[in-house]
Chain A
């Protein structure tokens, strides 16, 4: 199976300290990858490099048959990969306008965007909050808006930075439910976490970040894979 994207020889130092030194990080398509690591191990740094938001000291990227430097790849990965902050940032606008932000930037017509936003609100069960000011939402609601705002753009890969950290158990459940639905829709996801239990059951693979490098802890369990394929087929 070919990978969605391969990152090779990522190296990153900040203020003279080595943060990352990764030989090879492969991201398979349509899978959910769990990335664990202690606080300060470099998860956020890695996800920002992967999404084109943070420039590494060096990295080679294999993407869509091309071998590119990070700089060359930046426009592609910024377009196709969406990074979600640990504490999502919602713009000072309504929930609906937040969700539509990327659509408007992509030049969708007003009516087409509006239609998609309505559907997305319904998908995330946020319709009742559509006209609320996004700044007033709770942490869990903000997270759901941020996920919906990303999903509506059909990204190739969604990177979620500790989405359940500092959440109560109810919000955690809702977020993991949302992730499960994304996965069943065939969206490729990578989720970082410093504690693994909340989303472990969703993940197909488990990577661990330690001593600046990535270790593969667990491959796709076959039973999981079958359910994933079935649900994807049903959708099609």
Chain B
């Protein structure tokens, strides 16, 4: 008990004193997850919009496919990507395994189905008159798409925040394709898991607090934005 409270005090000191190692891990976590969401979001939004607004063969199949992929465990995504990126794998020559780039790719794969599914729900609930009004007032389809995104922006922001929340906290994929290498691929979840098992409690608790606060606020953010979206409708 005494050990634990001492470790918690040390954890606060680590965070507040600007401990270089811990802040490096935090910034790597953010950097990787932000990049992944930044890359995944534009494609996910366009696909979600097309799935919601146009009729074409296999549309329903695609929608349920994205919904299904949403629940694929992170470690399975990691395993798949590992096999693709490993020396003998199809993309082995790119030498991406155990780099932060591989982590970004993994998180793009992880967040993509969630982004598409949630954005699709927003576009599905959007008013068709918004699209028709933009078009009849002379907007190009591309411009009308942006107008529509603005009209359902709260739902879309909720999707993006939820996507970020999923990837920033996942451990399976980052561990598999990143390898938890200090100064290069160690992010918050892999650091918590491995450093704590080595007896580095203070660091584990400090990073755990950061992740907990982050996850709680992201979840709160999702509900707030979803609530705003409903008020609008």
Contact = CB atoms under 8 A, between A and B. Distances in A.
25 contacts: A48-B132, A53-B132, A53-B135, A53-B136, A83-B136, A85-B129, A85-B132, A87-B129, A88-B129, A89-B130, A89-B132, A89-B133, A91-B133, A91-B151, A92-B150, A101-B134, A102-B137, A102-B138, A105-B134, A105-B137, A105-B140, A135-B232, A149-B137, A150-B137, A153-B137
Contacts of B133: 85, 88-89, 91
A91 B138 contact: no
A234 B216 CA distance: 67
A150 B132 CA distance: 13
A101 B138 CA distance: 9
Given A85-B129, A135-B232, A91 B135 contact: no
A78 B135 contact: yes
A102 B232 CA distance: 23
B232 A82 contact: no
Interface string B122-154: 000001011011111111100100010011000
B144 to A, nearest CB: 9
Given A105-B143, A135-B232, A89 B129 contact: yes
A106 B138 contact: yes
Interface of A: 48, 51-53, 78-79, 81-83, 85, 87-89, 91-92, 101-102, 105-106, 135, 149-150, 153
B148 to A, nearest CB: 10
Contacts of B138: 78-79, 102, 105-106, 153
B114 to A, nearest CB: 25
A25 B98 CA distance: 68
Interface of B: 127, 129-130, 132-140, 143, 147, 150-151, 232
Given A101-B137, A106-B138, A153-B138, 7 more contacts: A78-B135, A82-B137, A85-B129, A88-B133, A91-B150, A91-B151, A105-B134
A217 B162 CA distance: 58
A192 to B, nearest CB: 15
By Cβ-Cβ distance, the 4 closest A-B pairs, closest first, are A89-B129, A102-B137, A89-B133, A105-B138
Nearest to A85: B129
Contacts of B135: 53, 78
B229 to A, nearest CB: 11
Contacts of A135: 232
A198 to B, nearest CB: 22
Contact of B139 (A51, A105, A149): A105
Nearest to B154: A92
B54 to A, nearest CB: 12
Contacts of B129: 85, 87-89
Most chain A CB inside 10 Å of its own CB: which residue of B134, B137, B140:
B137
Contacts of B151: 91-92
A83 B132 contact: yes
Contacts of B136: 51-53, 78, 81-83
A135 B135 CA distance: 20
A17 B136 CA distance: 27
Contacts of A83: 132, 136
